[in-house]
């Protein structure tokens, strides 16, 4: 049940993961594209506004330069008309007298046209009117600039009147000094301008809009704003997602299949293990444990081997985890104990100084059958206390209270307890102090580091120190060189195991060599 639930969850994750990730990435990419687009529009607005102001200032400069005594003379009116026709943005030029316009590129105005109060007057006396009336049939509002008796006008919406296919887009210009909206198409939210802070430009998502706000390079001249409704982003995301869909579906398919394949392999390996037990495909090899001072063999560790029917040798690192997950490990351990008794029972009885180590798994420790089986071997061969050792790793002690009781009981029966792969777990000294161990095996990772100048090479010293503090025997695993052996010997390590002395060998050879 647990297996199928876990399997179902993982299948769901492998199937949904890639599409969800691609959707997320599509949204990120879409947002980036849309923000860049809106920013582009804000830039266009600010440039158009800047160009319009430039043209109007140039026209006023030209009219002033004429220095005409009568600014409404026929020549001046002619010049104004030319300027108005030439200007891309500027639509009219005129003469201004107070708030009145007596003449313009449209001719003489009788009576003079009342322009109304200026909306803003700059420090150098330039007046800005946001809506100046003009006697034209379509009464489009005009924006005007006037200075030194002349005025130039442009369509009010010229800067923001951009051809766009963005439905619901908002464009606006604003006064950068007080944040007031000058001209706009669509409903511009004045709060958006506040988001600028001290920056020259800002692009962001606000409510249901993507917004870009920007200031003109000409300090204090103008600010622009562009915004588009968020539904454009949704459209963009849909478009990008669709482009990626085949790939994410493919990835999901491949991942799911790979997982299902691995899961099936696992199930079939469990079946193979069961069959292997029935067909007697498992056997033990023995790796000698050596006294570092004398180099004599004082015992062995039993290491399980599996040769399948087709002659393939499967590593314990592969099949032990599968056996543990599929609840076959107790059967395996039981077989290991049978094989060990068969191979070594008599030998141990005849050689009371020799000892044998057996590897246990987590679930073996709490199973009464394990210690019963060990005891029956001890009795059958009349073994001495300390001749059998069980090896377990720190990671196995998931239920420390129960483990402590079980291990203490084994020790009472003369079984030694050794902690395997020491240094690779996470146990603290104070925790280890409370566990009933007799010896510890320093993992070969740390022994390997002795030859190298790596930082891990110093770890081995700490591990030895810890063992001394806990008053435990030390076995160094994976000793491959004379240099490692010498190093360990000098630091008081008593036992070693490794290819320097011997690889794991069949029982017969072990016994014959002893």
**Is residue 359 close enough to count as binding ligand C2E by CB under 6 A?**
yes
The one among 79, 421, 423, 447 contacting Mg ion by CB under 5 A = 421
**Is residue 71 close enough to count as binding ligand C2E by CB under 6 A?**
no
**CA distances to 137, 182, 475 from 189, in Å:** 31, 12, 76
Q: Please give the size of the binding site for ligand C2E, defined by CB under 6 A.
A: 23
Say which DSSP state 292 is in. T
For residue 273, the minimal CB distance to ligand C2E (Å) is 12
Give CA–CA dist 235/238, Å, rounded.
Answer: 5
Q: Both tokens of residue 384?
A: 């001495």
Q: Both tokens of residue 113?
A: 């046209």
Give CA–CA dist 170/160, Å, rounded.
Answer: 9
**Is residue 336 close enough to count as binding ligand C2E by CB under 6 A?**
yes
Bridge partners for 120 per DSSP? 128
Residue 498 site contact among Mg ion, ligand C2E, none (CB < 5 to 8 Å, cut-off depends on kind): ligand C2E
Give CA–CA dist 407/436, Å, rounded.
Answer: 7
The one among 21, 260, 270, 303 contacting ligand C2E by CB under 6 A = 303
**Is residue 281 close enough to count as binding ligand C2E by CB under 6 A?**
no
Q: Both tokens of residue 263?
A: 């899961």
Q: Does the N-terminal peptide bond of residue 108 adopt cis geometry, omega within 30 degrees of 0?
A: no
Among 34-42, 82-90, 257-265, 473-481, the segment contacting ligand C2E (CB under 6 A): 473-481
Cβ proximity to Mg ion: between 317 and 490 the closer is: 317
Cβ proximity to Mg ion: between 421 and 448 the closer is: 421
The one among 155, 156, 232, 444 contacting ligand C2E by CB under 6 A = 444
**Is residue 499 close enough to count as binding ligand C2E by CB under 6 A?**
yes
Among 25-33, 347-355, 378-386, 472-480, the segment contacting ligand C2E (CB under 6 A): 472-480
DSSP string, 111-131: EEEE----SEE-TT--EEEEE
Query: Is 142:131 a contact under the CB 8 Å cutoff?
Result: yes
Cβ proximity to ligand C2E: between 183 and 504 the closer is: 504
Cβ proximity to ligand C2E: between 83 and 320 the closer is: 320
Bridge partners for 211 per DSSP? 204, 227
Give CA–CA dist 357/313, Å, rounded.
Answer: 22
Residues present in the chain in total:
514
**Is residue 228 close enough to count as binding Mg ion by CB under 5 A?**
no
The one among 52, 113, 153, 320 contacting ligand C2E by CB under 6 A = 320
For residue 317, the minimal CB distance to ligand C2E (Å) is 5
Tokens 């029982």, located at residue: 507
For residue 366, the minimal CB distance to Mg ion (Å) is 19
Give CA–CA dist 80/103, Å, rounded.
Answer: 10
Among 180-188, 228-236, 278-286, 388-396, the segment contacting Mg ion (CB under 5 A): 388-396
**Is residue 299 close enough to count as binding ligand C2E by CB under 6 A?**
no
Please say whether the dihedral angle defined by the alpha carbons of residues 439, 426, 3 and 22, taken in this order, is positive or negative: negative
| List of residues contacting Mg ion (CB under 5 A) | 359, 391, 420-421, 477
| List of residues contacting ligand C2E (CB under 6 A) | 287, 303-304, 315-317, 320, 336, 359-361, 391, 420-421, 444, 477-480, 497-499, 504
């Amino acid at each position: 049940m647990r297996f199928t639930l876990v399997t179902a969850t993982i299948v769901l994750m492998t199937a949904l993961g890639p599409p969800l990730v691609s959707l997320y990435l599509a949204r990120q990419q879409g947002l980036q594209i849309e923000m860049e687009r809106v920013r582009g529009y804000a830039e266009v607005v600010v440039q158009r506004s800047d160009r319009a102001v430039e043209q109007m200032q140039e026209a006023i400069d030209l009219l002033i330069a004429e220095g005409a005594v009568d600014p409404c003379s026929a020549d001046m009116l002619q010049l104004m008309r030319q300027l108005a026709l030439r200007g891309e943005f500027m639509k009219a030029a005129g003469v201004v007298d107070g708030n009145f316009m007596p003449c313009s590129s449209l001719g003489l105005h009788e009576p003079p046209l009342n322009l109304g109060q200026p909306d803003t007057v700059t420090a150098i006396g330039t007046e800005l009117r946001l809506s100046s009336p003009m006697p034209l049939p379509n009464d489009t509002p005009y924006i005007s600039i006037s200075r030194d008796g002349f005025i130039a006008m442009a369509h009010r919406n010229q800067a923001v009147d951009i051809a766009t296919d963005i439905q619901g887009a908002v464009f606006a210009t604003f006064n950068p000094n007080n944040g007031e909206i000058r001209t706009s198409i669509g409903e511009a939210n004045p709060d958006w301008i506040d988001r600028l802070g001290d920056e020259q430009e800002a692009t962001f998502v606000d409510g249901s809009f993507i917004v870009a706000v920007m200031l003109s390079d000409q300090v204090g001249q103008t600010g622009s704003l562009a915004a588009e409704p968020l539904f454009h982003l949704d459209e963009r995301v849909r478009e990008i997602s669709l482009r990626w869909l085949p790939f994410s579906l493919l990835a999901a398919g491949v991942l799911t299949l790979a997982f299902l394949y691995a899961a099936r392999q696992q199930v079939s390996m469990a079946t193979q293990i069961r069959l292997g037990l029935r067909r007697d495909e498992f056997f033990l090899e023995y790796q000698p444990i050596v006294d570092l001072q004398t180099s004599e063999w004082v015992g062995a560790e039993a290491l399980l081997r599996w040769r399948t029917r087709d002659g393939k040798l499967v590593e314990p690192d592969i099949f032990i985890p599968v056996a543990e997950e599929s609840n076959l490990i107790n059967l395996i351990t039981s077989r290991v104990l049978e094989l060990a008794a068969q191979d070594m029972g008599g030998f141990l009885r005849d050689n009371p100084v020799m000892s044998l180590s057996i590897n246990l798994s987590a679930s073996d420790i709490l199973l009464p059958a394990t210690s019963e089986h060990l005891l029956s071997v001890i009795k059958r061969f009349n073994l001495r206390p300390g001749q059998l050792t069980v090896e377990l790793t720190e990671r196995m002690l998931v239920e420390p209270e129960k483990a402590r009781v079980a291990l203490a009981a084994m020790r009472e029966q003369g079984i030694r307890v050794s902690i395997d792969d020491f240094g690779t777990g996470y146990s603290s000294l104070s925790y280890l102090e409370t566990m009933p161990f007799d010896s510890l095996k320093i993992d070969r990772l740390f022994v390997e580091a002795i030859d190298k100048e790596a930082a891990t090479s110093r770890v081995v010293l700490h591990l030895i120190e810890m063992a001394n503090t806990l008053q435990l025997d030390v076995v160094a695993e994976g000793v491959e060189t004379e240099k490692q052996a010498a190093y360990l010997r000098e630091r008081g390590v008593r036992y070693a195991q490794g290819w320097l002395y011997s690889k794991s060998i069949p029982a017969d050879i072990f016994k014959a060599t002893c």
